[in-house]
Amino acid sequence: MVETVETYDGWYALHDFRTMDWEKWEHASETTREKALHELRALLDQWQVVEDQKQGSHKLYSIVGQKADLLFMVLRPEMKDLNQLENALNKTAFAHFTKPAYSFVSIIEKSSYTKPETDPYQNPDMVKKLFPTIPNEDYICFYPMSKLRAENHNWYQLEKEERGRMMFDHIKTAKPFTENVKRIITGAMGLDDYEWGVSLFCDDPLHFKKLIYDTRFDEVSARYGIFGSFYIGHRIQPTDVERYFTIK
């Protein structure tokens, strides 16, 4: 039997992508738009209270390209918390102007190919990684991914040492980018269609391109990586929410 790798799990994560019905929004009365924005701001304020209490985190992004318009990225202690906040968002007047574009449900995950010397949940550095605040960088790059399970190349039939070797090589390639690019890795086995979600954060999106280009040459990516769609977003600051939705 192939030896598995122990994972350590933190907050649950929801990446909720939405498309705005800009025509409907433009033709709505000013009163209707004001009500919708008021309910959206009130919901974001509630989420900020949760974040201030260190019981989760959230960010709102404007998506570049035609795959979506908005991304609500939210972290919470329990799955039911994500369900409740998603339902609350769907019940707002603002939600009537949006359509689902894509979503990804997962949980923050850290794994190790070596046995830790101490309990990871008692390690302050590990706790910060499992229960983080979403970085404040201007841009996000999100993509889902899985490992290949083909007849000739099956990640899950490789010995643990071989998987570890490739992952350490992958980490080595990415290390020069850690100063500029932060990341949150989430596991989604049994929760969504892909096995992991990768959220990268930086102030210059060119770093996304260079990082992903370099790591594509790693054996773990070149031979075993299966990637979904890539989404690039620019952070909408709380003070910029109203300006983003203003019809000129």
The two most distant CA atoms of the chain are separated, in Å, by 64
Round to whole Å and give the CA distance between 221 and 218.
5
**244 is a catalytic site residue:** no
Give all strands (DSSP E) within the chain, no chain letters: 7-20, 57-64, 70-76, 98-111, 139-147, 182-187, 196-202, 225-227, 231-235
In the chain, helix, strand, coil percent, each to 5? 40, 30, 30
How far apart CA 118 and CA 49 sit, in angstroms, is 33
The single residue of 12, 61, 139, 143 carrying the catalytic annotation is: 143
Say if residues 108 and 56 touch (Cβ distance below 8 Å): no
Active site residues: 143
